[in-house]
Amino acid sequence: MVSNPQMIAGSYHPGDVTFLLKPVQMAPTDIATKEDRIQSGAAHYSEMISQERRPDDRYLSIFETARRNGVDRIAREISALARRIAQRVTTGSLAPQITLCSLVRAGVPYGVLLQRELLALGIDSCHFGVSIIRDRGLDGNAIAYILDRRPVGGVVFVDGWTGKGAIACELQTSWQALTGRDSAELVVLADPSGFATMSGSHDDWLIPSGILGANVSGLISRSILNRDVIGPDDFHGSIPVDHLADIDVSLDFVDQISREMARHRTAPMPSAPSADLQALRRRALACVHAIAAEYDVTNLNRIKPGIAEATRAVLRRRPHKVFLRSRDDGDLGALIHLCNTDGVDMVVDADLTGPYRAITLIENRA
């Protein structure tokens, strides 16, 4: 690793997060070409990036409604998660120095909120944004950078949600390979598939940031691992998403929730969500395999379960169908708006969606 690595700045306050990402520039790949290259095996998804779609006024209005409806819940659940981390520091199951590693990008807003709350609770905590890429793992240079400065026993990874558990499994495999430790600590807001160490709930609910991209995550792209722009000693890369700067709500989103979190700090500590994690995993996997069987899907990466993943797949990929638990579900407003705008076929089937409220099936381009 280089001694003085380049790092992308993002649009958060410097004290909120340090992004261990190299700023890069790449020509965008159109979505159809990207899908063809991914499914044919000609390129890995991390080697390409499309220009991020600009949300229309109706979509931004749906986000604002979701934000109004979700602020108190997020504040309550993040406050509880921060106190649970603090308790584990007290009992010794986590090191006194906590290092939050948000998985870019979905984990970043919640890592920022946890960082602020842990500091308010008097915990020695710092926060990094790090890359993890399916089939490639964690950014080993970023992890080495962190472990040169902070104890391994206090590392806590942060993400927004679990879909079918692919990234959670990638995290565990990669963490063990990099550190020799059996399990990585993973904290998420929503864990419908049962893969997180700590979670706000096991519900598939409308997390507001899940339906936006760069303009709620610090104005950075998803991470990039293309050897034309990333050398062996570099951090994984990211592109500044400047064309969305005029509608950036990254700071406003976390600031609003932070103000609410102060009210929950002295409230009685809520119980951790209770669930049989193995049962959640089995149910999630059964749902994914049911869709795969019915629609002759051999690559499970084409199935994107959960409100956030289903919505992001319509924004960034070539969807074939979107499965809804109910068309009348207000939390699916953004997804339904996108489907109507883009002419994506929607299928209402509560049995097929299982524990999820929405699932997107990516078009077969192989």
- Looking at the fold, whether 255 and 303 belong to one and the same domain comes out as no
In a domain, 12, yes or no: no
* pLDDT attached to residue 140: 98
Q: Is residue 352 part of a domain?
A: yes
On whether both 224 and 349 belong to a single domain, the answer is no
> What digits encode the pLDDT tens for the residues 31-61?
999 999 999 999 999 999 999 999 999 999 9
Q: Could you tell me if 257 and 110 lie in one domain?
A: yes
Q: Which residue has the higher pLDDT, 236 or 4?
A: 236
Which CATH number covers residue 336? 3.30.1330.30
Whether 272 is in a domain gets the answer no
| pLDDT of 103 over the 70 cut | yes
How do residues 147-160 score in pLDDT, each as one tens digit?
A: 999 999 999 999 99
Same domain for 160 and 191?
yes
User: What is the percent of the chain with per-residue pLDDT over 90, rounded to a whole number?
Assistant: 93
245 and 309 share one domain: no
Asked if residue 10 belongs to a domain, the reply is no
Last residue of a domain, one of 214, 236, 264: 264
Examine the domain organization and report whether 254 and 303 are in the same domain: no
Same domain, 158 and 302: no
**Which domain covers residue 142, as residue numbers?**
18-264
Quick check: 346 and 339 in contact, CB under 8 A?
yes
Above 80 in pLDDT, residue 366? no
* Same domain (yes/no): 106, 239: yes
Which of 264, 290, 309 is the last residue in one of the domains? 264
Identify the sign of the CA torsion 166, 170, 173, 179.
negative
Measured CA to CA, the distance from residue 358 to residue 306 in angstroms comes to 5
**Does residue 202 lie in a domain region?**
yes
Least confident of 20-34, 67-81, 121-135, 268-282: 268-282
Q: Which two tokens stand for residue 11?
A: 């649009």
For residue 221, what pLDDT is reported? Answer: 98
Q: How far is CA 246 from CA 50, 54, 104, 243, 256, in A?
A: 20, 11, 21, 8, 19
Peptide linkage before 105 cis (omega within 30 of 0) = yes
Q: How much is the pTM?
A: 0.96
Statement to judge: residues 308 and 354 lie in one domain = yes
Whether 219 and 317 map to the same domain: the answer is no
Which of 264, 295, 310 is where one domain is finished? 264
User: How many structural domains compose the chain?
Assistant: 2
In a domain, 4, yes or no: no
**27 shares its domain with 171:** yes
Model confidence band, residue 1 (pLDDT cutoffs 50, 70, 90)? low
Residue 9 lies in a domain: no
Does 335 reside within a domain?
Answer: yes
Q: What is the pLDDT of residues 163-215, one digit of tens each?
A: 999 999 999 999 999 999 989 999 999 999 999 999 999 999 999 999 999 99
Verify that 173 and 236 share a domain, yes or no.
yes
Per the CB < 8 A criterion, the answer to whether 16 and 27 are in contact is: no
